[in-house]
Structure 1
Amino acid sequence: MRIAYLACRLTLPDSPERRPDAFEHDQMMECLSAAFAAHYATVEAIAWDDEDADWRRFDAVLIGSTWDYQDHLQRFLDRLAKIESQTMLFNDSATVRWNCRKTYLKDLSERGARTVPTVWLDRPAGANVEQAFDALGSDDLVFKRQVGANAEGQFRLKRGDPVPPMPEPMMAQPFLPAIQSEGEMSLVFIDGAFSHGLVKSAADGDYRIQSSYGGREKPCTPDAADIAAATSILETLAETPLYARIDMVRGTDGDMLLMELELVEPFLYPLQADGLGERIYDAAARRLSTI
């Protein structure tokens, strides 16, 4: 089996200006390469926008550290469609097209998922930004890009703060104190089965849990109720994704709320798991065996 691991140029080892979080790409490659090699299979990292790549020489392509896709969305989606016309793609392009815009949270809410309350601002401006505080009943909001990653272009604003330029469609959510006190829980699923869990915490004085901002993580064992809640979200999907990371945070009532369902290019935290590479190999092998 030969697999391509789809990356972006700034996560590849030979990049002259690697991203500060590119070590996460290295961790995933080490995890996958070791597991696949045990089965005489290979994993090769390739930039998604590499014009010289021949996707037909791979049995499948696994979307990995494509962490600039949000700034080139249509080009990225077009490239995925091309790849899918030549080989298997995990996760498939229809799933990515739906999941790359955070408006998918509307669909999940309608299907019964408990999500963080959200106001959608397709054209953010002073007036509707101020109205979001009233609509959400909070004086402390986080504004995120509807197509975004790694908290880029994200703002935490208190009522009355100056409104910064927000040229992209945005979403507003109340700031949840549990992010700083308890952290964000991530549950990783491979082929629909729970793999491992972890808690991500922000650096002192921050609320962003990504490693780019000093975030840190530790393994955890979610209780049965948390796993059931995450599993119920996956069960609303028409197709089971090969990989999924479900990010949840505790609401003010004590219940866990869905923050993100990550199906495009999530980091899967291999250092907090035992056997992640083997599980991904088995899942890919099962799917390829049905072709």
Structure 2
Amino acid sequence: MTSDRPRILYVSDLAYDARGRRYCDEDIYLTSRLRAAFGLAICHPLDARALMPDFDLVVVRNSGPVLGYQAEYQAFRAAAGETGARVFTELTGKGDAAGKQYLIDLFAQGYPVIPTVDRPGEIDRLPASEKYVVKPKYGADSVGLTVVDRAGLPRLDHPDLLVQPHVDFTYEVSFYYLDHDFQYALYAPRPDRRWELEPYEPDEADLAFAQRFIDWNDIDHGIQRVDACRTRDGALLLVELEDLNPYLSLDRIDADTRDRFVAAMTTSLTRLSDKPRGSRSGKPIRPA
């Protein structure tokens, strides 16, 4: 690595087996582009805590669900907070990086999210539904997700599970942001083929919806993906605010959009590398 360039520890599980996608291809592409501006090494998420003191920046990308290594992930977050490591996406986020408790909290506060509770005694707060989606608070990529009828809910009383009604929607759409800036949007026109994504042109109302959650999360630097579903009555509801390691589906956008994204990411990382090590944003790293 060239010594006068910022050094990036790029965190990725290159062997992670995702349904319908090859996460490693995206990371191979991104690292090949970022090497033009940074010295760079790739490591597995389980090695990140030990290796990060030797690097200027830690970029967490397609590192897989933390459900399988929760203790190690919490230790990484704690070490990053103690040392003031520059982590991209920053760890102060209130979305998936800290688990899915935010869905419960936002629903209680009246935000446009899929109704969500985590206690069987609160099921009556949800709209009536023939089926319910139950998933772990620290899951991703549908790991641990089950669909049950109402009679099956009492058997799933567990503090790390959340419950949502099975929403009838017309399509899912994702809005991709870098820092606070919108980059592009993709959608799955066929609900039964979630990862067959196509470019989506958002209108002002769509962008206002997504920006509301970006502003709420208040992240200074990093990548965020706002996942939403379009209900039968035309409304958008938040499905997830992914601020840990959102897959970017860069192979689904055109070359010019991809180049603009890489340029914006390079600028953001360069700006982050200029911050003194150990500088604080004034926002705490939330417990995961």
Alignment TM class, shorter chain as reference: 0.7 to 0.9
Gaps of 5+ in 2: 1-5, 277-288
Q: Which residue of 1 aligns with 2:57?
A: 60
Indicate the SS of the match to 1:246: strand
Whole-Å Cα distance in 2 between the matches of residues 197 and 51 of structure 1? 30
Paired AA for residue 259 in structure 1: V
Q: Which residue of 1 aligns with 2:240?
A: 260
Residues 108-257 of structure 1 mapped to structure 2, 5 A cutoff: 108-109=106-107, 113-121=111-119, 128=120, 132=123, 135-160=126-151, 169-178=160-169, 182-200=170-188, 204=192, 209=194, 215-257=195-237
Paired AA for residue 162 in structure 2: M
Whole-Å Cα distance in 1 between the matches of residues 145 and 273 of structure 2? 39
Paired AA for residue 61 in structure 1: V
Is the Cα–Cα contact under 8 Å of residues 95 and 243 in structure 2 kept in the other structure?
no
Residues 50-89 of structure 1 mapped to structure 2, 5 A cutoff: 50=47, 53-84=50-81, 85=83, 87-89=85-87
Cα separation, partners in 2 of 1:283 and 1:141, compared to 1, 3 Å: same
Say yes or no: does 1:6 pair with 2:11.
Answer: yes
Paired AA for residue 199 in structure 2: P
Paired AA for residue 10 in structure 2: Y
Is the Cα–Cα contact under 8 Å of residues 133 and 140 in structure 1 kept in the other structure?
no
Q: Which residue of 2 aligns with 1:44?
A: 41
Q: Which residue of 2 aligns with 1:102?
A: 100
Q: Which residue of 2 aligns with 1:15?
A: none
Whole-Å Cα distance in 2 between the matches of residues 289 and 83 of structure 1? 17
Taking only aligned residues, the RMSD between alpha carbons, in angstroms, comes to 3.0
Q: Which residue of 2 aligns with 1:280?
A: 265
Q: How far 1:218 moved relative to its partner?
A: 1.6
Q: How far 1:262 moved relative to its partner?
A: 0.4
Q: How far 1:98 moved relative to its partner?
A: 7.2
Indicate the SS of the match to 2:34: helix
Q: Which residue of 2 aligns with 1:19?
A: 17
Cα separation, partners in 2 of 1:231 and 1:203, compared to 1, 3 Å: closer
Q: Which residue of 2 aligns with 1:212?
A: none
* Amino-acid identity (%): 21
Cα separation, partners in 2 of 1:22 and 1:280, compared to 1, 3 Å: farther
Tell me the matched-pair count.
265
Gaps of 5+ in 1: 13-17, 122-127, 210-214
Is the Cα–Cα contact under 8 Å of residues 241 and 263 in structure 1 kept in the other structure?
no
Whole-Å Cα distance in 1 between the matches of residues 246 and 144 of structure 2? 18
Is the Cα–Cα contact under 8 Å of residues 144 and 155 in structure 1 kept in the other structure?
yes
Q: Which residue of 2 aligns with 1:125?
A: none
Whole-Å Cα distance in 2 between the matches of residues 173 and 7 of structure 1? 30
Whole-Å Cα distance in 1 between the matches of residues 216 and 145 of structure 2? 28
TM-score normalized by the length of structure 1 = 0.78
Whole-Å Cα distance in 2 between the matches of residues 28 and 114 of structure 1? 31
Is the Cα–Cα contact under 8 Å of residues 34 and 277 in structure 1 kept in the other structure?
no
CA deviation profile, 1:145-202 (whole Å, cap 9, x unmatched)? 1121111111112344697767662111111221xxx321000000110011111366
Q: How far 1:56 moved relative to its partner?
A: 2.5
Whole-Å Cα distance in 2 between the matches of residues 290 and 241 of structure 1? 12
Whole-Å Cα distance in 2 between the matches of residues 143 and 271 of structure 1? 31
Is the Cα–Cα contact under 8 Å of residues 18 and 141 in structure 2 kept in the other structure?
no
Paired AA for residue 157 in structure 1: V
